[in-house]
Amino acid sequence: MSAVVKQARLAFRPLHEEDLPVILTIEEAAYAFPWSLIIFEDCLKMGYSTWVLERDGCIIGYSIMSIAVGECHLLNLCVHPDYQRMGHGEMLLDHMLDLAQKHRAEMAFLEVRPSNATARRLYQNKGFDEVGMRRNYYPAHFGREDAVIMARSLV
């Protein structure tokens, strides 16, 4: 008897408005304080770089980034909790940084919760450094949480 291991098929594609119900489900599963539908719709209207990661044709993650004046700002990078810690977040991040470089961005910026040690470690491993702090940036269960500002060169 022989075992056949099926390799998952992963693919990136642009995020479309019709994807938003699935995106909202993932957002709500992953975050205690998820983005609203209006925020996602505004990102699409603004023409931000919006991408999904599909596994065997199903959306398992997404990312949203603005690019302007030689800089990119990673606004949201999320993987469904069932698919976290499998390298998908790193794949999404690499994809977005590659796109930013193709659009001639020289610096990448993002904010992350100080309490999100997994994300901070990913960003540090990808060359991001802490460059500042935004006080009371994120909603939290008891008040607000600061945001660590991270940056890295793309050149």
Q: b vs e for 71-83, b when ≥16 Cβ sit within 10 Å of the residue's Cβ?
A: ebbbbbbbbbeeb
Match 């995106």 to its residue by tokens. Answer: 23
**Residue 90 bears catalytic tag:** no
Which of 39, 9, 44, 18 has its CA nearest to residue 27? Answer: 39
Which residue is catalytic, options 48, 62, 123, 138?
123
Which residue is catalytic, options 71, 111, 130, 137?
111
**Residue 123 bears catalytic tag:** yes
Residues belonging to the active site: 111, 123
